Amino acid sequence: MANQNYKTLDSVTVADVEALGIPTELAGKLHGELTRIVRNYGSATPQTWHHISKELLSPNLPFSFHQMMYYGCYKDFGPDPPAWLPDPKTARLTNIGQLLERRGKEFLGSKYEDPISSFSDFQRFSVSDQEVFWKTILEEMNISFSVPPECILRESPSHPGGQWLPGARVNPAKNCLSLRKRTLSDVAIIWQSEGNDEAPVEKMTCQELRESVWEVAYALESLGLEKGSAIAIDMPMDVNSVVIYLAIVLAGYVVVSIADSFAPSEISTRLILSKAKAIFTQDFIPRGEKKIPLYSRVVEAHSPMAIVIPNRASSLSIELRDDDISWPDFLDRVKDSKGLEFVAVEQPIVAFTNILFSSGTTGDPKAIPWTLLTPFKAAADGWCHMDIKNGDVVAWPTNLGWMMGPWLVYAPLLNGASIALYNGSPLGSGFAKFVQDAKVTMLGVIPSIVRTWKAKNSPDGYDWSTIRHQMFLELVSWPLVLSCLELQVHC
């Protein structure tokens, strides 16, 4: 364990601080502040770390000093010490905090004290009384069923793991398009395209999203495919792919998720396994001066009928196969339906809504089906664990080919938040500016992105203060943020 290599905080000397390259005078001041904090709060408590992170650390101090403080504080804590602690006011403003403030005594009786002190008891309650817990969470998210479930969980020997929401009929895309404490003019999607970074971000309102999804759903029905048919998407994660995704689900078909980086052989394998009847794709993806082909890969994969969307700089000058359809021609099939509401296809909760795939790195890719239940679990995770709420702006660089893509569609929209999409590489300053301009409140990352940001200083000079999940900004400092995943710190 990394923390075993560090001294406890009450053993740290001025010389230890100086040894990190910190000037003598500053080292003395830092040590004095550290001594005061340790004297008031102890040398190894969560409160100690809270005050160190707030009052002692800053971005201009060496990262090695951040490590010394963190691992010294939690030297004997165990493998997963906390990196950030909410203050009572912040805890009460979270989704869970507000729920406990209203109903904590109802759930926990006399054991309830406050959202922080009673959180562990509430977690145990969520396991011991799943009927009440999950009914409450679905109500908090305003999930609407055309036929309500008979119960939350029915356990029987014939169904290992039990049947969740048995008897329910629902359409998750319909729930995404409902207003859920929003108005038609509220923003549903915010996006920007690489190379256009100096322009204002683009926005799609809830009304515009609804009408776009309805239009595509009508056009899908015009293809005459049997309900429940699999329809693939091999596109970048942009506003068009989100609209198409929701339209497929709204119309009662099954999405097949294919990453836009895949080679023809990988595309072919997934199309065959899923028995896809059609595929949405793009002519090419512009990346700087390069054009990454998509349609030609789909053709080489011997795909079924393709609906081909021109990228933002193209009028679809490429020649299509005889049975393929350009995006304008596809939409033109139902031009008389523009603006008309599409009646959602409600299905049993056990019906499939999405087929994802394992990466294939350890063998052939394996199909991973999502039922209609899965979107609501994704949204519940967003509500409970990531505190996504009405008015938030959620960004997470990903692709529909991986599970975080569908998650990014459902978790924000089902919780009344906006999706933030950057059509381009998230590694450079363009993405950092987008986070600033879109006023992102929740930002998801992966280690490779964080390492590149650290190497390039990509976020320098941009204001990310709107990020409400302040594991990035208020946690300690920018250096710790950029290395938190490398250090295996649970933020």
* The pair of three-digit structure tokens given for residue 453, joined into one six-digit string: 């940001």
Q: Which CATH number characterizes residue 457's domain?
A: 3.40.50.12780
Q: What is d(CA 414, CA 431) in angstroms, rounded to the nearest whole number?
A: 25
Looking at the structure, tell me whether residues 236 and 266 fall in a common domain: yes
Q: What is d(CA 130, CA 15) in angstroms, rounded to the nearest whole number?
A: 54
Dihedral angle, C-alpha 37, 490, 453, 394, nearest 10 °: -110
Average pLDDT of the chain, as a whole number: 89
Q: How confident is the model at residue 2 (pLDDT cuts 50, 70, 90)?
A: low
In the beta sheet, which residues pair with residue 393? 418
Strands, E assignment, 78-158: 153-156
Looking at the structure, tell me whether residues 13 and 92 fall in a common domain: no
Q: Environment class of residue 468 by beta-carbon count within 10 Å: exposed (0-12), middle (13-18) or buried (19+)?
A: buried
CA dist 486 → 164, 351, 480, 490 (Å): 37, 39, 10, 10
Q: With respect to residue 448, please indicate whether it lies within any of the assigned structural domains.
A: yes
* Number of independent structural domains in the chain: 3
Q: With respect to residue 391, please indicate whether it lies within any of the assigned structural domains.
A: yes
CA dist 242 → 106, 191, 203, 425, 461 (Å): 39, 12, 13, 18, 31
Condensed to tens digits (0 to 9), the pLDDT of residues 239-298 reads 999 999 999 999 999 999 999 999 999 999 999 999 999 999 999 888 767 888 899 999
Q: With respect to residue 298, please indicate whether it lies within any of the assigned structural domains.
A: yes
Average pLDDT on 184-212 reads 95
Condensed to tens digits (0 to 9), the pLDDT of residues 35-63 reads 999 999 999 888 898 899 889 998 789 98
Q: What is d(CA 358, CA 166) in angstroms, rounded to the nearest whole number?
A: 28
Q: Report whether 227 contacts 174 (CB < 8 A).
A: no
* The pair of three-digit structure tokens given for residue 111, joined into one six-digit string: 């054991």
**First-residue to last-residue Cα distance in the chain:** 17
Looking at the structure, tell me whether residues 239 and 322 fall in a common domain: yes
HSE, side-chain direction, 13 A CA sphere, residue 470: 18
User: In angstroms, how far is CA 81 from the centroid of its own chain?
Assistant: 24
pLDDT of 229 > 90? The answer is yes
Looking at the structure, tell me whether residues 330 and 428 fall in a common domain: yes
Q: With respect to residue 246, please indicate whether it lies within any of the assigned structural domains.
A: yes
Looking at the structure, tell me whether residues 258 and 397 fall in a common domain: yes
Looking at the structure, tell me whether residues 263 and 390 fall in a common domain: yes
Condensed to tens digits (0 to 9), the pLDDT of residues 398-449 reads 999 999 999 999 999 999 999 999 999 999 999 999 999 999 999 988 888 8
Q: What is d(CA 104, CA 88) in angstroms, rounded to the nearest whole number?
A: 15
* The pair of three-digit structure tokens given for residue 358, joined into one six-digit string: 């394992």
Structural domain that includes position 303: 170-469
Question: What's the confidence (pLDDT) of residue 88?
Answer: 82
Q: Kindly state the DSSP code that residue 3 receives in the 8-state scheme.
A: G
Looking at the structure, tell me whether residues 69 and 104 fall in a common domain: no
Question: What's the confidence (pLDDT) of residue 77?
Answer: 80
Q: Report whether 168 contacts 148 (CB < 8 A).
A: yes
Q: Report whether 166 contacts 149 (CB < 8 A).
A: yes
Q: What is d(CA 240, CA 260) in angstroms, rounded to the nearest whole number?
A: 14
Looking at the structure, tell me whether residues 58 and 97 fall in a common domain: no
Looking at the structure, tell me whether residues 348 and 301 fall in a common domain: yes
Average pLDDT on 168-186 reads 93
Q: With respect to residue 163, please indicate whether it lies within any of the assigned structural domains.
A: no
With H, G, I as helix, E, B as strand and everything else as coil, classify residue 110.
Answer: helix
With H, G, I as helix, E, B as strand and everything else as coil, classify residue 51.
Answer: helix
Question: What's the confidence (pLDDT) of residue 314?
Answer: 58
Q: Report whether 109 contacts 83 (CB < 8 A).
A: no
Q: List CB contacts of 112: < 8 A, sequence separation 6 or more.
A: 100, 104, 105, 118, 121
Question: What's the confidence (pLDDT) of residue 50?
Answer: 85
pLDDT of 95 > 70? The answer is yes
Average pLDDT on 199-205 reads 96
Span of 131-135, 147-151, 247-251, 318-322 with lowest mean pLDDT: 318-322
Looking at the structure, tell me whether residues 192 and 95 fall in a common domain: no
Question: What's the confidence (pLDDT) of residue 230?
Answer: 98
Question: What's the confidence (pLDDT) of residue 480?
Answer: 38
Question: What's the confidence (pLDDT) of residue 362?
Answer: 77
Q: What is d(CA 179, CA 206) in angstroms, rounded to the nearest whole number?
A: 8
Question: What's the confidence (pLDDT) of residue 473?
Answer: 32
Strand pairing class (442-443; 254-257): unpaired
**Tokens 């000093």 sit on residue:** 65
Question: What's the confidence (pLDDT) of residue 360?
Answer: 74
Q: Which residues of 146-163 are buried (b: 16+ CB within 10 A; e: fewer)?
A: eeebeebeeeeeeeeeeb
Residue 276: name the closest of 323, 240, 237, 228 by CA. Answer: 228
User: How much is the CA Rg of the chain, to the nearest whole Å?
Assistant: 25
In the beta sheet, which residues pair with residue 293? 284
Q: Report whether 206 contacts 183 (CB < 8 A).
A: yes
Question: What's the confidence (pLDDT) of residue 224?
Answer: 96
Q: With respect to residue 304, please indicate whether it lies within any of the assigned structural domains.
A: yes
Residue 413: name the closest of 398, 444, 392 by CA. Answer: 392
Q: With respect to residue 151, please indicate whether it lies within any of the assigned structural domains.
A: no
Q: With respect to residue 155, please indicate whether it lies within any of the assigned structural domains.
A: no
Q: What is the largest CA-CA distance in the chain?
A: 78
Span of 72-81, 120-129, 279-288 with lowest mean pLDDT: 72-81
Looking at the structure, tell me whether residues 57 and 112 fall in a common domain: no
Looking at the structure, tell me whether residues 356 and 463 fall in a common domain: yes
Question: What's the confidence (pLDDT) of residue 3?
Answer: 59
Q: What is d(CA 288, CA 305) in angstroms, rounded to the nearest whole number?
A: 30
